[in-house]
Structure 1
């Protein structure tokens, strides 16, 4: 009675520990929150956005009044030297002279086309920073999801390999027993031993691969990942909506953040042409000045105030062809920006098409592999029964086991790839948001 009681207690403890680990398993949303707090790339992009938000105040500053104040306080000795008719020089007593002055100047641009274009460019620069940050946000979602499912795939691979190892171990023991009693040949034993040695090597590779995948996830979230919630068995994946590729491609060509950034770059390049052409334009400024000077020495003092207001203009005549060269350069850069925009549109369109096809082909592959899993299980059971009655040999059972475990691994990977293609499809279309992780997270066994 004592041994069964101990076995029951150990079994209960194991079940409790397993349930505790399952309860503490981190899901995709929790891992994404960790990435938001700790991912270095995301933090860098957030800092770049903060820097980009300062471009507008800097551009506006060139259109606002510029006020400056200056002053001086000097002290010196003044000696007067007089030469008389006899050629003798007479030096007057030294007089200590002090001079205090200050000047306040205000300059308000009235017409400076280059500064106006710079201000408009600063708005575009801020919009570019916002679009680039949105792109990084989408990239973070896909990077976290990919790293998460890479870990799950590596765990599935390791689990299938270990299950195959257990089955191969049992088959090896059976082959040895049958050989000892003379019902099978040594060939069966050697085949089982070879299969066992191979699966042991595969297990070491699977353990190393899992460690690498967990390390990749750690790079994103900044700490060693906890136990991850696995995919629920028999999940049903949803097809993309809309179900045709054209709306996705159209959205990608207009809303993809890479395309949006390229569009802003084209507009900025246009403004740069106007800014450089302004080198031929006159400038006009309102100038106001208030100054005061006071000097004292020898018991006397005098001072004066100088106040003035007016306009100051300047007309460029010749600058050594520098302005013309800069205009030609900016026109060439605008042409480059237009071609970059076309490249971005084509790339976004291609990514959307590939992701759409990936989702649909992935769902078809999942259905086929689900059917293959059922068939593989039936084939394994038939081979095991045939092995017991002597109509199948050991290698038949080993091959059937290998086929089943391989099918299960391929099925899990097909599900992960289909989910990732769905996220990439939304990213290519420029519509991927944090809320899109919620339905994916619902597929996990939390």
Structure 2
């Protein structure tokens, strides 16, 4: 009885299902995607680089203390013992140090500023990646729905044709071949439906992994939605923008700037350092058998100069290491620029060719529907056979599915193109959202 009650209540206790459009799903992903949450925490950590770098330029204050129990025996050379004093020596010291000239500290501070900018760029990349991951998962679900609809519609039509073929065979107006062909098509349609249902379930779970809950019914592309060409409609302008503004290029540029400063930082290992040092404290210790315990209060201030002379070649080696790393970062920067340019070309062509494909498939869909009507009429008057009608119906469903895929791929290419130039944001989601129509919540 308890098991039965649980089976009844468990659907009511499951995660809530909501109907959403692309913008709502993106909002959910911002709050629930663990990868984006990790990127946000990484940004917070990266921002701490600046106060850490600035700290090396500011004064430091330390307090130290000690206490030691002593058991000594004081004697002369002739063996006479003067005493066995037992005493506790202790003391404390407060030290203030202010760097006056440490060139490597200034370089580190400059590096920290670049590291913060780099952390901001990495987070911007994570935000763009989130948009693309959400859009990809969202469109995958939409396509899986369209594919499932097409497969089921095709199965229904084939079932009708199978029923008609059986009746026609019974009355002698069709051959057994028509029935066998329709049965074979129907069995194949059943298998396709099972595969489509499985694919739809997988795509739903992929989206759920990002937003942390079931998405429910999703808004789909309106049939009258008009896709627009990229602006500016010039591939070279997009390539130039990608080479300059791509976030990947910005990150590698920051790496190159940090490496350039690292060379100067390691070179500073040959430079002298100057610090202002002040301390104050108290020390209690045993002076002699005659003086007993001595209590000393002291305060002093001075300038401390350190000049490195030789450190076993370590400084020169680190300088060569930094120079090699700088060369590597410059190569990585050039690679990032080339990759950004290639991506801009690829996604620009993806949008342009996608728009042409959408237009062609829309025309093909109209033609396929006309061909289907003609074949149905021909079958009724006896100039077409059952297999002709099945082929025409299948062509309609395949064209409709391909049109859905081309439309969604073009929308995704538009987002990726904006991402290639580092300009992908919520406004782009809103523009695509305007092309969607939300289903009624069930």
Fold conserved between structures, TM > 0.5: yes
Deviation at 1:254, TM superposition (A): 1.0
Q: Matches of 1:78 and 1:351 in 2, distance apart?
A: 80
User: CA offsets per residue over residues 131-180 of structure 1, 9 Å max, x none?
Assistant: 01100100100110111010000110010000000000000000000001
Native 8 Å contact 1:161 1:203 kept in 2: yes
Q: Matches of 2:275 and 2:331 in 1, distance apart?
A: 39
Equivalent residue number for residue 45 of structure 1:
39
1:310 aligns with 2:315: no
Equivalent residue number for residue 423 of structure 1:
415
Equivalent residue number for residue 368 of structure 1:
360
Deviation at 1:82, TM superposition (A): 6.1
Equivalent residue number for residue 33 of structure 1:
27
Deviation at 1:184, TM superposition (A): 0.7
With over 3 angstroms needed to count, the CA separation of the structure-2 counterparts of 1:83 and 1:281, relative to structure 1, is closer
User: CA offsets per residue over residues 363-409 of structure 1, 9 Å max, x none?
Assistant: 11111111111111110011011111111001000000010000000
Greater Cα offset, 244-253 or 149-158: 244-253
With over 3 angstroms needed to count, the CA separation of the structure-2 counterparts of 1:329 and 1:83, relative to structure 1, is closer
Equivalent residue number for residue 54 of structure 1:
48
TM-score normalised over the length of structure 2:
0.91
Q: How many residues align?
A: 420
Deviation at 1:90, TM superposition (A): 5.3
Greater Cα offset, 377-386 or 243-252: 243-252
For residue 398 of structure 2, give the secondary structure of its aligned residue in structure 1.
helix
Q: Matches of 2:361 and 2:77 in 1, distance apart?
A: 117
Equivalent residue number for residue 221 of structure 2:
231
Deviation at 1:74, TM superposition (A): 3.8
Equivalent residue number for residue 121 of structure 2:
131
Q: Matches of 1:442 and 1:354 in 2, distance apart?
A: 25
Aligned mate of 1:163, from 153, 173, 176:
153
Equivalent residue number for residue 19 of structure 1:
none
- The CA RMSD measured in Å over matched residues stands at 1.9
Q: Matches of 1:224 and 1:330 in 2, distance apart?
A: 50
Equivalent residue number for residue 274 of structure 1:
264
Q: Matches of 1:207 and 1:24 in 2, distance apart?
A: 20
Greater Cα offset, 142-151 or 316-325: 316-325
Q: Matches of 2:272 and 2:81 in 1, distance apart?
A: 57
Native 8 Å contact 2:73 2:81 kept in 1: no
Flag structure 1 segments of 5+ consecutive residues without an equivalent. Answer: 1-22
Native 8 Å contact 2:135 2:412 kept in 1: yes
Aligned mate of 1:261, from 244, 251, 267:
251
Equivalent residue number for residue 186 of structure 1:
176
1:69 aligns with 2:63: yes
Deviation at 1:351, TM superposition (A): 0.8
Equivalent residue number for residue 8 of structure 1:
none
Aligned mate of 1:383, from 371, 375, 385:
375
Q: Matches of 1:39 and 1:215 in 2, distance apart?
A: 14
Equivalent residue number for residue 20 of structure 1:
none
Equivalent residue number for residue 101 of structure 1:
91
Q: Matches of 1:45 and 1:350 in 2, distance apart?
A: 26
For residue 228 of structure 2, give the secondary structure of its aligned residue in structure 1.
coil
Native 8 Å contact 2:99 2:276 kept in 1: yes
Q: Matches of 1:279 and 1:345 in 2, distance apart?
A: 34
Deviation at 1:302, TM superposition (A): 3.6
Aligned mate of 1:359, from 325, 333, 351:
351
Q: Matches of 1:334 and 1:300 in 2, distance apart?
A: 63
Equivalent residue number for residue 393 of structure 1:
385
Q: Matches of 2:367 and 2:77 in 1, distance apart?
A: 126
For residue 183 of structure 1, give the secondary structure of its aligned residue in structure 2.
coil
Native 8 Å contact 2:165 2:179 kept in 1: yes
| Aligned residue runs from structure 1 range 134-149, under 5 A | 134-149=124-139
Deviation at 1:118, TM superposition (A): 1.3
Deviation at 1:75, TM superposition (A): 4.2
Aligned mate of 2:404, from 382, 391, 412:
412
Greater Cα offset, 261-270 or 241-250: 241-250
Equivalent residue number for residue 15 of structure 1:
none
Q: Matches of 2:416 and 2:202 in 1, distance apart?
A: 23
Q: Matches of 1:366 and 1:310 in 2, distance apart?
A: 79
Native 8 Å contact 1:83 1:90 kept in 2: no
TM-score normalised over the length of structure 1:
0.90
Deviation at 1:72, TM superposition (A): 2.3
Q: Matches of 2:392 and 2:117 in 1, distance apart?
A: 59
Equivalent residue number for residue 10 of structure 2:
none
Q: Matches of 1:50 and 1:258 in 2, distance apart?
A: 20
Flag structure 2 segments of 5+ consecutive residues without an equivalent. Answer: 1-16
User: CA offsets per residue over residues 313-360 of structure 1, 9 Å max, x none?
Assistant: 111122222222211111111111111111111111111111111111
